[in-house]
Structure 1
Amino acid sequence: MGDEIAGKLAGLARALEHLDRPDTVLAAIVAAAVALVPGADEGSISAISGRARVWSHAPTSDLPRLVDAVQEEVRQGPCLDAAYEHQTVRIADMTSEQRWPLFAARAAELGAGSMLALQLYVEGDDLGAINLFARTPGAFTDESEQIGLLVAAHAAIAYVGARKGADLAAALANRDLIGQAKGMLMERYHLSGDRAFLLLTRVSQNSNRKLHQVATELVETGAVHGPHGLPAPPR
């Protein structure tokens, strides 16, 4: 490490400050990690919920996405275990990894030779991490970990901001859908806004579905199907 790496990290921090779309922020983080961390060939950001569900964001190829899917399928792997407790987790050789044998065997079949996981955040049982992959064993060194930690430190703030932005965008979209669904019910059945919302809520509870799912179906199809659904408009 030296002035060159420091300059690139400073450039990364400046670049991330000017990005506002969550998908663009995540892609920039992954691209920088792959470019700056010695040994990295591919990468992604993994979001793990409840130490069970794994989502792959901004994968540079099918390899990171498929490896994330393997972690969820076999219920083991660095992001479902050690990455909650350690800032970095290194797998030197997938073919001889003993901590997560099922995961490692499947990852090796997919073409991963070695792996470096870099913790971004931990919130209870939820985790965000940068996963970096090499197609050859032994690609990641102590220097890789040191530079990776610096990249993760710069990326963590931007990543958390991107998550909040994505959550806000989803919440606004859901609010708009629910508003459209309420309007449809108010016009169709001559209901007040409060009664239309109460009807949507009742269908949501009876059908064990999220409110925004009920609203989406109503807006897109004109009805909510199933035994606890809403009738189609009278003809």
Structure 2
Amino acid sequence: MSDASTSLHEALARVVLAGRELPDVLDEVVRIARGAIPGAEATSVTLIRGDRSFTAAFDGQLAMDADELQYERGYGPCMDAARAGETFLVEDMTIDDRWPDYARHAAERGVRSSLSTPLPFQGATIGALNNYSTRVGGFTPADAALAEEVAAFVAVVVGNAEAASRAMEDAANMRRAMATRAVIEQAKGILMERHKITGDQAFTVLTHASQRRNVKLRDVADELVATGELRAG
């Protein structure tokens, strides 16, 4: 392991994850990447969600400008790296013919070379780590190796954060569903006691009231439990 790689690992190991929002963590990581990758003069993280691409963090306006040029066109090295799961190195924007319109405009903004590395997570690619330079041939194979290490770290951080967010959302949905079921059962019990009907019949009464008033079944049940009244319409 090279000294640069060792220093990078040590810096990433010091990143505190607990109790922090994802954007704060990514801001710190892109600063580390920009400082650790010798050729990088500006660094960003692109995330792709369905058809939407966006910059989740950046260090250096050059990176944000170059990213936006790609989002406007729907293609470019950072987007292709994120979609295809491949690393894309642009040695010279003025002669690269893979994305000619983007490359021309990027060169006009001062970008001469770039290195876009995919973010792999659980068999998929969720985005890209982008590094930009104002020099032709600004990135070496050693830079690419360091970028891969940062990209792997970013992918795990983003993937785990989103998995945790989904788990929290699922738990919240479950709690809401349980609360809804509980209040409906209470309302059914009131109707069963009041009218000497079965549970199925009580549920039908609530459903009809919901349909006639064009309000949610949960709201009808809430009102009955709170007021003891069931308005028909």
Q: Is the TM value for this pair above 0.5?
A: yes
Tell me by how many angstroms 1:149 deviates.
Answer: 1.2
Residues in 2 aligned to 1:62 and 1:27: alpha-carbon distance in whole angstroms: 13
Residues in 2 aligned to 1:192 and 1:88: alpha-carbon distance in whole angstroms: 51
Tell me by how many angstroms 1:166 deviates.
Answer: 5.7
Q: Is the 8 A contact 1:9 1:154 kept in 2?
A: no
Partner of 1:100: 99
Q: Gaps spanning 5+ residues in structure 2: where? A: 177-212, 221-233
Question: AA paired with 2:146?
Answer: I
Change beyond 3 A, Cα 1:150–1:97:
same
Q: Is the 8 A contact 2:114 2:133 kept in 1?
A: yes
Tell me by how many angstroms 1:101 deviates.
Answer: 0.6
Partner of 1:34: 34
Partner of 2:192: none
* Number of aligned residues: 185
Tell me by how many angstroms 1:139 deviates.
Answer: 0.6
Residues in 2 aligned to 1:152 and 1:30: alpha-carbon distance in whole angstroms: 10
Tell me by how many angstroms 1:72 deviates.
Answer: 2.0
Q: Is the 8 A contact 1:84 1:122 kept in 2?
A: no
Residues in 2 aligned to 1:168 and 1:63: alpha-carbon distance in whole angstroms: 36
Partner of 2:218: 194
- Residues 16-64 of structure 1: per-residue CA shift (max 9 Å, x gap): 44463111111122111111112101111101234x4220111223322
Q: Gaps spanning 5+ residues in structure 1: where? A: 179-188, 197-235
Q: What is the SS of the residue equivalent to 1:59? A: strand
Change beyond 3 A, Cα 1:32–1:97:
same
| Residues 13-162 of structure 1 mapped to structure 2, 5 A cutoff | 13-18=13-18, 20-50=20-50, 52-121=51-120, 127-162=126-161
- Residues 127-172 of structure 1: per-residue CA shift (max 9 Å, x gap): 3111111122211011110111122223321122233456678x59
Question: AA paired with 1:98?
Answer: D
Residues in 1 aligned to 2:28 and 2:52: alpha-carbon distance in whole angstroms: 24
Partner of 1:12: 12
Q: Is the 8 A contact 1:115 1:140 kept in 2?
A: yes
Change beyond 3 A, Cα 1:157–1:101:
same
Q: Is the 8 A contact 1:22 1:163 kept in 2?
A: no
Tell me by how many angstroms 1:13 deviates.
Answer: 2.6
Query: Kindly, what percent of the aligned residue pairs are identical?
Result: 30
Change beyond 3 A, Cα 1:149–1:192:
closer
Question: AA paired with 1:20?
Answer: R
Question: AA paired with 1:6?
Answer: T
**Which protein shows a greater Rg?**
2
Q: Is the 8 A contact 2:44 2:131 kept in 1?
A: yes
Q: Is the 8 A contact 2:93 2:104 kept in 1?
A: yes
Residues in 2 aligned to 1:164 and 1:125: alpha-carbon distance in whole angstroms: 14
- Residues 149-201 of structure 1: per-residue CA shift (max 9 Å, x gap): 122223321122233456678x59x98xx9xxxxxxxxxx9x676247xxxxx
Question: AA paired with 1:38?
Answer: P
* Higher RCO, 1 vs 2 (CA within 8 Å, ≥6 residues apart): 1
Residues in 2 aligned to 1:192 and 1:71: alpha-carbon distance in whole angstroms: 44
Q: Is the 8 A contact 2:82 2:119 kept in 1?
A: no
Residues in 2 aligned to 1:115 and 1:35: alpha-carbon distance in whole angstroms: 16
**For the aligned residues, what is the CA RMSD?**
3.5
Residues in 1 aligned to 2:23 and 2:115: alpha-carbon distance in whole angstroms: 22
Tell me by how many angstroms 1:68 deviates.
Answer: 1.8
Q: What is the SS of the residue equivalent to 2:44? A: strand
Q: Is the 8 A contact 1:43 1:60 kept in 2?
A: yes
